[in-house]
């Protein structure tokens, strides 16, 4: 520490002639108050109330101390002192009498000025970048200044000296980066990456902020949308405008550069936590590693006959569920959040080499929305679904059921590896896989069934990714399977209130209805979601062929009667609807 600077500031007979006074850019009266505050800090008192400073330390007489509140405001505005209890509020918003009993202390900026004698940044001579890490060190320092600038904007306006100082430092380091890039024979790979994808300066700042989080592994305070937007916005209008940089159709998101997790907040809203896509991150952090050519998942699915590929269209908002089921699903989604996963890995609870990992059973009566909900969960997680109908395994592979049980999982692994994606594996109607094994009087068919289940059990144990199995009957589930699933979520038949919502979702919005039609009269019938969907479709077929083409209660009552009497095999036809 340069004690001469401190001694000069404290002992100079005329404060205006002290070495650092020109840098303070304040009045001599304000500088005198700052000197007294420095003295009490050196005596061991870090904070003091403005009242005590003005009356006891500065010894202003009677009510004259009120006339010196202006100097306190000036020092706050310049950033030489701070109010710890009001760091997110502007002191200028408080009237003098409110301000009087607030505590103040020296700012870190002022203490650095006392130590160094200057706040001017002296950057080293510009040299070519030796590698990408050197470049990122400069960029991360720049992002740190952007963070500081955003914090200053919360307390002061864009004309405050503190704001101007930090903005000047940003300009210095940006010029330094530009110079070093220009004189580098082999510019950092990231520069080419930005140019190839035509990312503008604001998009680059967002990308570098997220990359800083990946390298730092800190508290992830740069992943929130509002925080990222604050970095690149200088007023409220810019904040609104710049949100488009992180919307669904923005270049960062649509080009697969940045991805996000959606998490339900305690107040029922949805927040987004952003991160750099895994493939992009791997290429940047391990640039020498050759990345395999990615194969489209659609191509692989066409080459085999096991799976059906589904691009989910519905969200959880489209599914009508029992409140307890919805609560369990919301908790499930929260626990598969990218930030939660990282925290579990840091604690050693989750393997650091594995991604989102969950094995789930949806169980309940046919037509209660199990499959549709599986698709909706996938949509929320921004994943595709590869679906297998377990009821077909015996008929498809007579005599080879055990072998082809293993083939389901081997094919899934092959798809994951070749496409560098991790779709959800949906095992529909998995009753025969999950049912209890036969232990006595075992026939040939039962032995084959047991062997198939043993293989299934083994594959479940080793499975990496998100697997959802649907079943109509959970009572008969083998306990060995029950232990290996992380979540077991029950789907109840809808009550009257839920049936009303389902009817309203499925009734045609533009069709004509007779005067006697009342949807409330339909909800008394104990239909499942799938039955309601099929009843509406059945009624529509009849009405469309009728000359008048008008829906009435009679046509719906007939359709409902057919459903309740089992005239349709609704489960096979529309088992995924609710």
pLDDT tens, position by position, 403-427: 778 888 888 888 888 887 889 999 8
Residue with tokens 């960029």: 139
> How much of the chain is in helix, strand and coil states, percent to nearest 5?
55, 10, 35
Euclidean distance between CA atoms 147 and 152, whole angstroms: 9
Range 117-120, long-range pairs (CB < 8 A, 24+ positions): 117/2, 117/5, 117/19, 117/20, 118/23, 119/23, 119/165
Closest CA to 30 of 84, 69, 87, 83: 69
Domain boundary among 255, 285, 315: 285
255 and 167 fall within a common domain: yes
Provide the pLDDT for residue 268.
Answer: 56
Under 8 Å between Cβ of 162 and 79: yes
Euclidean distance between CA atoms 497 and 60, whole angstroms: 72
Provide the pLDDT for residue 90.
Answer: 52
Give CA separation, 211 vs 224, 278, 285, 288, in Å: 14, 12, 9, 18
Tell me if 290 is assigned to some domain: no
**Does the structure show a pLDDT above 80 at 342?**
no
Residues 6+ apart with CB under 8 A from 250: 244
Dihedral of alpha carbons 59, 61, 66, 67, sign: negative
For residue 255, what is the DSSP state?
T
pLDDT cut 90: percent of the chain above it? 18
Provide the pLDDT for residue 568.
Answer: 43
For residue 291, what is the DSSP state?
P
Domain boundary among 435, 462, 491: 491
84 and 145 fall within a common domain: no
510 and 527 fall within a common domain: yes
Q: pLDDT tens digits, residue range 215-240?
A: 876 555 678 888 899 998 888 888 89
Tell me if 448 is assigned to some domain: yes
Under 8 Å between Cβ of 468 and 360: yes
**Does the structure show a pLDDT above 80 at 160?**
no
333 and 441 fall within a common domain: yes
521 and 399 fall within a common domain: no
pTM (predicted TM-score): 0.53
Tell me if 367 is assigned to some domain: yes
* Total count of domains within the chain: 4
Provide the pLDDT for residue 353.
Answer: 58
364 and 315 fall within a common domain: yes
382 and 333 fall within a common domain: yes
Under 8 Å between Cβ of 475 and 482: no
Q: Classify strands 466-471 and 424-428 as parallel, antiparallel or unpaired.
A: parallel
Euclidean distance between CA atoms 310 and 329, whole angstroms: 20
Provide the pLDDT for residue 294.
Answer: 52
**CATH of residue 321:** 3.40.50.300
Residues 6+ apart with CB under 8 A from 98: none
Higher pLDDT, 119 or 226: 226
**Does the structure show a pLDDT above 80 at 35?**
yes
Dihedral of alpha carbons 212, 216, 222, 223, sign: positive
Tell me if 434 is assigned to some domain: yes
Per the prediction, the chain carries an average pLDDT of 81
CA geometry: angle at 326 spanning 321 and 330, to 5°?
Answer: 150
Tell me if 122 is assigned to some domain: no
207 and 351 fall within a common domain: no
**Mean pLDDT comparison of 160-164, 179-183, 213-217, highest-scoring range:** 179-183
212 and 254 fall within a common domain: yes
Tell me if 121 is assigned to some domain: no
**CATH of residue 30:** 1.10.10
pLDDT cut 70: percent of the chain above it? 83
Provide the pLDDT for residue 569.
Answer: 42
**Does the structure show a pLDDT above 50 at 180?**
yes
Higher pLDDT, 322 or 397: 322
Q: Is 117 exposed, middle or buried (0-12, 13-18, 19+ CB in 10 A)?
A: middle
Euclidean distance between CA atoms 56 and 358, whole angstroms: 65
User: Residue 139 is inside which H or E element, if any?
Assistant: helix 132-155
**Does the structure show a pLDDT above 90 at 204?**
yes
Tell me if 159 is assigned to some domain: yes
Q: pLDDT tens digits, residue range 263-287?
A: 655 555 667 788 888 778 877 766 5
349 and 480 fall within a common domain: yes
**CATH of residue 568:** 1.10.8.60
**Mean pLDDT comparison of 465-479, 510-524, 560-574, highest-scoring range:** 510-524
201 and 304 fall within a common domain: no
Provide the β-strand partners of residue 488. 361
Domain limits for position 562: 496-574
**Does the structure show a pLDDT above 80 at 344?**
no
Residue 53 — very low, low, confident or very high, per pLDDT cuts 50/70/90? confident
For residue 54, what is the DSSP state?
I
For residue 441, what is the DSSP state?
S
430 and 396 fall within a common domain: yes
Domain boundary among 85, 116, 147: 116
Which of 147-156, 285-294, 429-438 is predicted least confidently? 285-294
Tell me if 126 is assigned to some domain: no
**Does the structure show a pLDDT above 90 at 205?**
yes
Q: Biggest alpha carbon distance in the chain?
A: 106
Closest CA to 477 of 426, 411, 428, 433: 433
Under 8 Å between Cβ of 49 and 102: yes
Higher pLDDT, 29 or 87: 29
């Amino acid at each position: 520490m340069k004690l001469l600077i401190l001694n000069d500031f404290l002992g100079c007979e005329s404060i205006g002639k002290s070495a650092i006074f020109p840098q303070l850019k304040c009045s001599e009266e304000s500088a005198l108050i700052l000197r007294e505050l420095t003295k009490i800090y050196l005596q061991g008192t870090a904070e003091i109330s403005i009242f005590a400073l003005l009356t006891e330390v500065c010894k202003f007489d009677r009510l004259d101390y009120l006339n010196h509140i202006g100097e306190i405001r000036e020092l706050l505005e310049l950033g030489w002192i701070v109010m710890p209890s009001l760091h997110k509020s502007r002191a200028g918003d408080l009237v003098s009498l409110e301000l009087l009993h607030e505590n103040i202390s020296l700012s870190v900026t002022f203490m650095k000025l006392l130590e160094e004698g200057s706040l001017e940044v002296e950057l080293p001579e510009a040299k070519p970048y030796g590698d990408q890490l050197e470049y990122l060190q400069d960029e991360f320092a720049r992002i740190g200044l952007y963070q500081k600038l955003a914090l200053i904007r919360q307390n002061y306006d864009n004309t405050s000296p503190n704001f101007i100082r930090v903005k000047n430092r940003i300009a210095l380091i940006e010029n330094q980066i530009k110079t070093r890039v220009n004189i580098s024979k082999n510019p950092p790979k990231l520069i080419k990456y930005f140019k190839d994808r035509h990312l503008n300066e604001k998009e680059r700042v967002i990308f570098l902020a997220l990359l800083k989080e990946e390298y730092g592994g800190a508290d992830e305070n740069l992943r929130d949308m509002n925080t990222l937007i604050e970095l690149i916005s200088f007023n409220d209008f810019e904040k609104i405008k710049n949100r488009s940089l992180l919307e669904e159709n923005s270049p960062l998101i649509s080009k697969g550069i940045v991805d996000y997790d959606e998490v339900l907040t305690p107040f029922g809203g949805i927040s987004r936590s952003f991160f750099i896509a895994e493939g992009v991150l791997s290429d940047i952090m391990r640039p020498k590693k050759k990345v395999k050519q990615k194969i489209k998942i659609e191509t692989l699915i066409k080459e085999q006959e096991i799976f059906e590929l589904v691009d989910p269209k519905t969200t959880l908002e489209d599914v009508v569920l029992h409140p307890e089921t919805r609560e369990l699903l919301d908790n499930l989604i929260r626990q598969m959040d990218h930030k939660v996963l990282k925290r579990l890995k840091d604690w050693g609870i989750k393997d650091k080499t594995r991604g989102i990992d969950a094995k789930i059973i949806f169980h309940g009566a046919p037509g209660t929305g199990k499959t549709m909900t599986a698709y909706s969960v996938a949509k929320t997680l921004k994943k595709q679904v590869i679906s297998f109908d377990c009821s077909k395994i015996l008929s498809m592979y007579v005599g080879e059921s055990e072998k082809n049980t293993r083939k389901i999982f081997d094919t899934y692994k092959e798809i994951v590896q070749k496409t560098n994606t991790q779709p959800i594996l949906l095992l529909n109607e998995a009753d025969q896989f999950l049912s209890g094994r036969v232990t006595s009087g075992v026939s040939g068919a039962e032995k084959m069934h047991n062997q198939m289940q043993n293989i299934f059990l083994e594959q479940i144990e080793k499975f990496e990714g998100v697997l959802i199995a649907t079943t109509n009957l959970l009572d008969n589930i083998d306990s060995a399977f029950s232990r290996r699933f992380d979540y077991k979520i029950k789907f109840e038949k809808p009550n009257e209130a839920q049936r009303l919502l389902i009817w309203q979702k499925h009734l045609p919005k533009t069709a004509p209805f007779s005067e006697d039609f009342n949807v409330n009269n339909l909800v008394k019938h104990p239909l499942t979601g799938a039955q309601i969907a099929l009843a509406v479709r059945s009624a529509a077929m009849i009405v469309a062929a009728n000359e008048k083409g008008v829906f009435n209660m009679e046509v719906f009552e007939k359709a409902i009667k057919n459903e309740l009497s089992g005239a349709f095999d609704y489960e096979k036809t529309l088992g995924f609807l609710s």
